[in-house]
Amino acid sequence: MSQSNNHHKLPYDETVQCVQCGYCLPACPTYMTMEKETHSPRGRINLVKLAAKGHLTLDELQQPIDMCLGCRACETACPSGVEYGKILEGARDVLEEHKASRMSKPLRFAQNVIFQKFFPDSKKLRAAADLIWLYQASGLKSLAHKSKVIRILPDNLRAFEEVLPKVISPLERRKRPEVLKPSSATIPRFKVAFFTGCIMDAIFEKINRLSMELLALGGCEVLVIPEQTCCGALHAHAGRRDDTRMLAKRNIAAFEQLDVDFIVNNAGGCGAQLVEYHHLFAGDEQWEARAKAFVDKTLDITQVLVRCELPLLKPISATVTYQRSCHMTNVQKVTMEPVELIRSIPGVNLREMANPNMCCGSAGIYNVVNYKESMEVLDAKMPFVNETLASIIVTTNPGCLLQMKLGVQRVEYSPKARVVHLVELLAESAGLKTDQGSSIDSK
Which of 89, 21, 27, 24 has the alpha carbon at shortest distance from 377? 27
pLDDT in tens, the chain (443 residues): 444 567 888 999 999 999 999 999 999 999 999 999 999 999 999 999 999 999 999 999 999 999 999 999 999 999 999 999 999 999 999 999 998 888 888 888 888 888 888 888 889 999 999 999 999 999 999 999 999 899 898 988 899 999 999 999 999 988 889 999 997 766 788 999 999 999 899 999 999 999 999 999 999 999 999 999 999 999 998 889 999 999 999 999 999 999 999 999 999 999 999 999 999 999 999 999 999 999 999 999 999 999 998 999 999 999 999 999 999 999 999 999 999 999 999 999 999 999 999 999 998 889 989 999 999 999 999 999 999 999 999 999 999 999 999 999 988 766 789 999 999 999 999 999 876 433 333 33
- pLDDT at 188 (0 to 100): 84
Tell me the CA distances in angstroms from 20 to 24, 45, 90, 184, one per residue in order.
Answer: 9, 9, 19, 56
- pLDDT at 175 (0 to 100): 87
- pLDDT at 436 (0 to 100): 44
Helix axes 84-100, 41-52, angle to 10 degrees: 50
- pLDDT at 5 (0 to 100): 66
- pLDDT at 399 (0 to 100): 93
- pLDDT at 408 (0 to 100): 94
- pLDDT at 164 (0 to 100): 92
Domain covering 318-429 in this structure, CATH number: 3.40.50
Domain boundaries, the chain: 5-100, 117-163, 170-305, 318-429
> Do 318-429 and 5-100 have the same topology in CATH?
no
- pLDDT at 332 (0 to 100): 95
- pLDDT at 437 (0 to 100): 37
- pLDDT at 438 (0 to 100): 33
- pLDDT at 247 (0 to 100): 97
> Distance between CA atoms of 283 and 120, rounded to whole angstroms?
26
Per CATH, domain 5-100 is 1.10.1060.10:
yes
SS3 string of the chain? CCCCHHHHHCCHHHHCCCCCCCCCHHHCHHHHHHCCHHHCHHHHHHHHHHHHCCCCCHHHHHHHHHCCCCCCHHHHHCCCCCCHHHHHHHHHHHHHHHHHCCCCHHHHHHHHHHHHHHCCCHHHHHHHHHHHHHHHHCCHHHHHHHCCHHHHCCHHHHHHHHHCCCCCCHHHHHCCCCEECCCCCCCCCEEEEECCCCHHHHHCHHHHHHHHHHHHHCCEEEECCCCCCCCCHHHHHCCCHHHHHHHHHHHHHHHCCCCCCEEEECCHHHHHHHCCHHHHCCCCCCCHHHHHHHHHHEEEHHHHHCCCCCCCCCCCCEEEEECCCHHHHHHCCCCHHHHHHHHCCCCEEECCCCCCCCCCCCCCCHHHHCHHHHHHHHHHHHHHHHCCCCCEEEECCHHHHHHHHHHHHHCCCCCCCEEEEHHHHHHHHCCCCCCCCCCCCCC
> Distance between CA atoms of 70 and 246, rounded to whole angstroms?
22
133-142 confidence digits (pLDDT tens): 999 999 999 9
- pLDDT at 1 (0 to 100): 40
